């Protein structure tokens, strides 16, 4: 004669909690798939690539190259020659540079402006302030050199926008 298995209330609770956990995990997997798969097939937005002429026009409309030059020279006087990311507190004293940056990129992040050392943006390129804008994959970079910087090492990858303000047209050879 067979005996009936005895189920204690504790074993019933363990079974219920395992079933519940399994259902929760399956629901999360389904939700994740519903969110993830449509994104894989979505096309990334096309970003506009600015020419040096367009950047010069934006500079004229939004700011002033001479004032930006003074602000960059003041940055080097304040921080010296050391790499530094510029944040909101730093940009408060740089209204012309901040205004130009915002005119270039609606989703402007303060981390996009940095003081960079020699060679950062190409072999022999002197200390400069770089302004990175655009999407992650389609980013462009403007380099602003201090007054009196030796710009003889700038090659064809650098296009003049105004005075000591240049567009880095493509990735410098030292970064490839």
Which of 37-46, 47-56, 100-109 is predicted least confidently? 37-46
pLDDT band at 164 (very low <50, low <70, confident <90, very high): very high
CB of 58 closer than 8 Å to CB of 50: yes
Q: Which structural domain range is residue 110 located in?
A: 52-175
- 55-74 tens-digit pLDDT: 999 899 888 889 999 999 99
Answer whether 111's CB lies under 8 Å from 85's CB: yes
The per-residue pLDDT for 175 is 47
Sign of CA dihedral 73, 79, 80, 81: negative
Radius of gyration of the chain (CA): 27
Does residue 110 carry a pLDDT above 50?
no
Q: Which of 122, 119, 116, 117 is nearest to 173 (CA)?
A: 122
Q: Are 172 and 157 in contact (CB under 8 A)?
A: yes
Distance between CA atoms of 143 and 125, rounded to whole angstroms?
Answer: 10
pTM comes to 0.67
CA atoms within 13 A on the CB side of 99: 15
pLDDT at 143: 92
Tell whether 168 is covered by a domain.
yes
Q: In this structure, is residue 17 part of a structural domain?
A: no
* Rounded mean pLDDT, 64-86: 88
Question: For the segment 115-127, what is each residue's pLDDT rounded down to a tens digit?
Answer: 888 877 666 788 8
Kindly state whether residue 11 falls inside one of the protein's structural domains: no
131 in a structural domain: yes
pLDDT higher than 90, residue 145: yes
Query: What integer pLDDT is reported at residue 73 of this predicted model?
Result: 93
The answer to whether 159 and 52 are in contact (CB under 8 A) is yes
Evaluate whether residue 81 is within a structural domain: yes
Structural domain count of the chain = 1
Mapping DSSP onto H, E and C, the string for 104-165 reads: HCCCCCHHHEEEECCCCCCCCCCCEEEEEECCCCCCEEEEEECCCCCCCCCCCCEEEEECCE
Assigned domain for 146 exists: yes
Q: Which of 47-56, 67-76, 84-93 has the highest mean pLDDT?
A: 67-76
| 18, part of any domain | no
Asked if residue 22 belongs to a domain, the reply is no
């Amino acid at each position: 004669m067979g005996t009936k298995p005895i189920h204690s209330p504790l074993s019933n609770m363990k079974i219920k909690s395992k079933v519940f956990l399994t259902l929760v995990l399956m629901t999360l997997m389904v939700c994740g798939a519903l969110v993830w798969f449509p994104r894989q097939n979505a096309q990334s937005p096309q970003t506009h690539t600015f020419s040096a002429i367009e950047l010069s026009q934006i500079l004229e409309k939004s700011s002033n190259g001479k004032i930006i030059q003074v602000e960059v020279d003041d940055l080097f006087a304040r921080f010296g020659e050391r790499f530094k990311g510029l944040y909101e507190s730093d940009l408060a004293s740089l209204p012309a540079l901040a205004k130009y940056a915002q005119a270039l990129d609606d989703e402007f992040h303060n981390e996009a402006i940095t003081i960079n050392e020699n060679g950062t943006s190409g072999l022999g390129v002197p200390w400069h302030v770089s302004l990175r804008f655009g999407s992650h994959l389609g980013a462009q970079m403007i380099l602003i050199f201090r007054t009196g910087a030796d710009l003889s090492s700038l090659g064809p990858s650098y296009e003049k926008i105004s005075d000591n303000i240049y567009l880095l047209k493509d990735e410098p050879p030292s970064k490839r």
